[in-house]
Amino acid sequence: MGEIRTFKHEPDEPPPHGRMPRRLAAIIVGDIAAYSRLMQADEEGTHVRVKRIERDLIEPTIAEHHGTLVKTTGDGFIAIFDSPVEAVRCSIVIQQNLVGRNASLAKPTRIEYRIGVNLGDVIVEPDDIYGDGVNIATRIEGIAEPGQVYISGAIYEQIKHKVVCGYESLGDRKVKNITDPVRVYRVLPDADAVGRTRGKRENTLIFLLGVTLLVIAAGVLWFLLAQPQGRTGDQAAVATAPVASPSPQSPPREEAVQTPQPSPSLAASSPSPAPVAPQVASPAPSPAPSPVPSPAPSQAAAPPGEPEMVAIRGGSFAMGSNDDPTERPVHQVTIKPFAIGKYPVTVREWNECAAAKACGFTAAGKDDAPVSNVSWTDAQQYVAYLAQATKKPYRLPSEAEWEYAARGGTQTKYWWGDKLQPGMAGCKDCGELAAEQPAKVGSFKPNPFGLYDMGGGIDQWVEDCWRKSYQGAPVDGSAWNGGDCSSHVLRSGSWKNDSRYARSSNRDGYDTNVRYPTHGFRVALGR
């Protein structure tokens, strides 16, 4: 927040100018939509719910994204961040988390925030901030829709290539008490949302173009029908005459060249009399084969490329560690034989599901990179699609199965030993340069079971609901479900985490329905 300096001056003398602490900051302003109506309907209940959201969601999310909560305002909050990227990520997480919290509530009782984000130079005081930067963030929040994040052009320029989301420009807006118009963007946290928005615009343009062409065609038809009979007959004669070299006495007419012909595209789309064998994609991470040319429209879609699986023999092991309270108590677990993905699910594999309309968005990135920005619910969509398409019982691994597979028969902190070794995993301090995206799958050495990226690379969802310890956990390797499942377990750690997250026993929890850029998964088979 900076040092707060005091200056000596006479009581009636105004304080000196230019000495107030200032900083450039990304400012989040959040406000509850229809707060007065909610309070009128249930004053005490609404107050309790708002305080719980502030305590359990807003405050920890701001802290996790390295921000500072400046103040709460009863029906809203103000926070500042050094990083515009973290400010927007924080806003997205808050809004997506609220979607999950509101899912089971009737719409009139939902607590929904409008959020505005701006980058500006602000005056910092111990319990508040001031300046045009704050005022603009407040005005942007005021025009945002409930459940939405709106950002200024200043924020957009800083984050447009750094946050996994889409943006919809809302143009320049004139806001109260601000001289110049403010460029405003709506954040589309779904990675595919920007494509859908663009698609709507393209469909509108195509519709307008089609109407224009119909008007022109009608005009041409009217012109031809309105000609004298003799000339129309001449045109018809020319149009029906055999194609031949033009006579010297009778030069060719342009109308003859424009004679309507059967559409090649329509002819090509006619059903083929011979059936075409379906294409089968190779297992991950091999590149997909070339598509079969011109399949018949009635041909069934090709089955998906199944992830490459590794069979794991059953056995017993000591699960957990004493390194963190969430990993206690260490307990003996017996695992039945199963199979688990050799790699995390890749962008290519995910996009096969998206192309089949079974997964909720099209993933960005290279085909052989692990898919990211995936919620637990998204991961369940993929395994359901894979199970239905292949008629095999694909699923997420249980937490116990994941740790058993990650350890590879070892009981050390990492599968290779107790000390960090460069080049063994993808993490922030694992010896690799910092990156904006995880490395492609299989970039590091496999563990003794032949599995890749079982520490670092990408956070990986498992089947279990999140609990803060192993007290009462199953000992047969099954998933620990039941009770409050608003959060699920993540394992592995990501390329953005430090090496302690890459330990075989490390575990964390995250909201079930919320996407985050470092979250992915791998699949299991069996039991």
Give the residue with greater pLDDT, 192 vs 314: 314
**Would you place residue 127 in the very low, low, confident or very high pLDDT band (cuts 50, 70, 90)?**
confident
**Would you place residue 209 in the very low, low, confident or very high pLDDT band (cuts 50, 70, 90)?**
low
Total residue count of the chain as it appears in this document:
527
Average pLDDT over every residue of 344-361: 94
User: What's the token pair of residue 150?
Assistant: 């709106």
Q: Are strands 519-521 and 459-465 parallel, antiparallel or unpaired?
A: parallel
Average pLDDT over every residue of 29-42: 94
pLDDT digits (tens, 9 = 90+) for 222-237: 666 665 554 444 443 3
> Which residues, in sequence order, are CB contacts of 411 under 8 Å at separation 6+?
317, 318
Q: Give the per-residue pLDDT at 295.
A: 36
The top-level CATH class assigned to 22-194 is alpha beta
Q: With 50 as the cut, is the pLDDT of residue 201 above it?
A: no
Q: With 70 as the cut, is the pLDDT of residue 200 above it?
A: no
CA 280 to chain centre: 28
How far is the first Cα of the chain from the last one, in angstroms, to the nearest whole number? 54
Per the CB < 8 A criterion, the answer to whether 124 and 2 are in contact is yes
pLDDT digits (tens, 9 = 90+) for 372-411: 989 999 999 999 999 999 999 999 999 999 999 999 999 9
Q: Where are the domains of the chain?
A: 22-194, 309-525
Spatial separation of the C-alpha atoms in residues 102 and 519, rounded to whole Å = 22
Residue in this structure with the two tokens 């079971």, named with its chain if needed = 449
> Which residues, in sequence order, are CB contacts of 463 under 8 Å at separation 6+?
395, 396, 397, 398, 399, 479, 481, 488
Nearest to 400 by CA among 510, 325, 314: 314
pLDDT digits (tens, 9 = 90+) for 103-118: 888 999 999 999 999 9
Per the CB < 8 A criterion, the answer to whether 511 and 486 are in contact is yes
Per the CB < 8 A criterion, the answer to whether 177 and 214 are in contact is no
**What does DSSP assign to residue 465?**
E
What's the CATH architecture for 309-525?
Alpha-Beta Complex (3.90)
Q: Three-class SS string for 380-418?
A: HHHHHHHHHHHCCCEECCCHHHHHHHHHCCCCCCECCEC
Average pLDDT over every residue of 56-79: 94
Q: What pTM does this model have?
A: 0.51
Q: Do domains 22-194 and 309-525 have the same CATH topology?
A: no
Per the CB < 8 A criterion, the answer to whether 75 and 32 are in contact is yes
Spatial separation of the C-alpha atoms in residues 244 and 278, rounded to whole Å = 44
Q: With 90 as the cut, is the pLDDT of residue 97 above it?
A: no
3-class SS of residue 166:
strand
Spatial separation of the C-alpha atoms in residues 317 and 331, rounded to whole Å = 8
| Averaged confidence pLDDT in the chain | 79
- My answer on whether omega of the bond before 285 falls inside 30° of 0, hence cis, is yes
Residue 370: count of CB within 10 angstroms of its CB = 35
Residue in this structure with the two tokens 């398409």, named with its chain if needed = 389
Spatial separation of the C-alpha atoms in residues 426 and 435, rounded to whole Å = 10
CA 260 to chain centre: 48
